[in-house]
Amino acid sequence: MNNTAPPTTAPPGRPAEVPGRPAAAVGYVCAEPDDASAGLFANWCERRAVAEGWTLTGMVNDTDESQPLVERPGWQRVASLATGGALGAVITITRPMIGTTTQDWVRVSDQLADLDVTLVTVGSAARTPPSGDDQ
Global pTM value: 0.77
Q: How far apart are CA 94 and CA 96, in angstroms?
A: 6
* Residue 112 pLDDT greater than 80, yes or no: yes
Domain boundaries, the chain: 27-121
Q: How far apart are CA 33 and CA 40, in angstroms?
A: 12
Q: How far apart are CA 19 and CA 60, in angstroms?
A: 26
pLDDT tens figures, 60-99 = 999 998 999 999 999 999 999 999 999 999 999 999 999 9
Q: How far apart are CA 8 and CA 53, in angstroms?
A: 13
For residue 80, give every residue at least 6 positions away whose Cβ sits within 8 Å of its Cβ, in sequence order, or none.
none
- Which CATH homologous superfamily contains domain 27-121? Resolvase, N-terminal catalytic domain (3.40.50.1390)
